[in-house]
Amino acid sequence: TILTRSISTCLARKSQISSARLSTATLAHPNAPLDIHPEVQEALATNKPVVALETTLVTHGFPYPTNYSLASDLEKIVRSTGSVPATIGIIGGRVKIGLERSELEWLADRANNPSVVKVSRRDIAPTIGAQMDGGTTCSATLIFAALAGIKVFATGGLGGVHRGGQDSMDISADLFELTRCPVGLVSSGIKSILDIGRTLEYLETLGVPVVTYGKTRDFPSFFTRLSGFQVGKFLLTSLREAYLIIQVPWNVDSPSTAAKLLHTQWQLDMDNGILIAAPIPEEHEKIGSSIQQAVDQAVRESEENGMSKRGKEVTPWLLSRIVKLTRGESLNSNVALLKNTALIGGQIAVEYQKILS
Ligand code: PSU
Ligand code: MN
């Protein structure tokens, strides 16, 4: 009991420290170029569930004005679960954790600022130094969520190992960032343009837990629910049952199980994130396979025309090419899977907060 008491004192102290970090005034560097929206600040200070949302999908993923309405809808969905949304981006060289409508509109309408930066970890300080605007990728969003003490982040597709990545070494910074940010990231897996098998191998090497969410044991394939890759060995919801079913991957089937997993990870001081992969809702499954053909075509084209060697431009180019090839159909699916992860993210954040209180 002495041991457990000292662990709980330690944890209590840790949570005090992290809640003390919540307002900008008490950040380790109080003059850092970072603003936490008052609503988010209040939520964090009073232990309300908060869900981080990224803005690369606004600045480089979707066209205007769909991107603006989508981002607002995602915030609404998070709210409907009882969580507070914190959409993260960079405006005029300041990091914003939680955006005003006008700020979101500013980032969304690229006519305002055609030079808006796609910001991953390496781009943060230069973007701020140049006082520019930026949409944060998963990697940058993870960093700022962790800094603010936000434990759940919902997005569509995580970056990963690109096809041919074993030669080009094009591996998204998103993967490594999950090793240093204690955040549960809910996504529909990784983007369809990537190499799923190698991405899972890489995440395994990095020690990032990967779990599927819901009924399927298959790692989702973004536009479709199945990829043929299973991610682990047994079922988390019932260990006993798990031993009876051989070859079933790690899987959680409820917000509370997912929250418990996050809690356990951090209770043991493993300060890395967890990838929670929620497949696209079933009604979008059918169209998914035809979209996947367009994906494969776009990837082939990018190899032929040299786009695949253009660093961070590759992903936005492929995504817009897929929109053209599918006459916009891929956007509908992308919206659907994003709304789904926002909902699940909100629910998990609520359950996580329940465990803490
Ligand atoms: N998924 C989308 N649209 C996007 C992205 C993902 O449907 O724009 C963004 C995410 O922000 C992700 C980034 O972090 O693409 C990965 O880019 P790269 O592959 O260059 O690391
Ligand atoms: Mn890349």
Instruction: Tell me the residue ranges of DSSP E strands in the chain.
Output: 34-36, 50-53, 84-91, 94-97, 117-119, 134-136, 152-154, 184-187, 210-213, 251-252, 274-277
Note if 14 is an active site residue.
no
Instruction: Please give the number of the atom of ligand 1 that sits closest to the Cα of 139.
Output: 14
In the numeric block, which tokens belong to residue 110?
A: 């690229």
Ligand showing the shortest atom-to-Cα distance for residue 157: 1
pLDDT for residue 26: 58
- Report the pLDDT averaged over residues 55-75: 96
Strands 134-136 and 117-119: parallel
ipTM score of the complex?
Answer: 0.93
Ligand 1 neighbour 199 (Cβ under 6 A): no
Looking at ligand 1, which residue's alpha carbon is closest to its atom 17? 159
Separation of CA 194 and ligand 2 centre (Å): 10
pLDDT at 23 over 60: no
Helices (runs of H) and strands (runs of E) counted in the chain: 15, 11
191, 329, 339, 351: the active-site residue: 191
Q: Kindly give, in sequence order, each residue whose CB lies less than 8 Å from that of residue 171, ignoring residues fewer than 6 positions away.
A: 160, 161, 162, 165, 202
Quick one: pLDDT band at residue 234, thresholds 50, 70, 90?
very low
Cα torsion angle, 136, 140, 144, 149, sign:
positive
Q: State the pLDDT confidence band at 229, using cuts at 50, 70 and 90.
A: confident
Q: What is the mean pLDDT of residues 50-60?
A: 97
* Nearest ligand by distance to the CA of 59: 1
Rounded to whole angstroms, how far apart are CA atoms 343 and 103?
23
Query: Mean pLDDT throughout 18-34?
Result: 66
Asked whether the predicted pLDDT for residue 5 surpasses 70, the reply is no
Find out whether the beta carbon of 58 lies less than 6 Å from any atom of ligand 1.
Answer: no
Q: What is the C-alpha separation between 206 and 266, in angstroms, rounded? A: 16
Could you report the per-residue pLDDT of 332-341, keeping only the tens digit for each? 999 999 999 9
- Verify whether ligand 1 is closer than 6 Å to residue 193 (CB atom): no
pLDDT at 187 over 50: yes
pLDDT of residue 227: 80
Confidence of residue 241 (pLDDT cuts 50, 70, 90): very low
Q: Which atom of ligand 1 is nearest to the CA of 157?
A: 1
At 24 the pLDDT is 55
Q: Which phi-psi region, left, alpha or beta, contains residue 147 (left: φ > 0; alpha: ψ -120 to 50)? A: alpha
Three-state DSSP class for residue 349: helix
pTM: 0.88
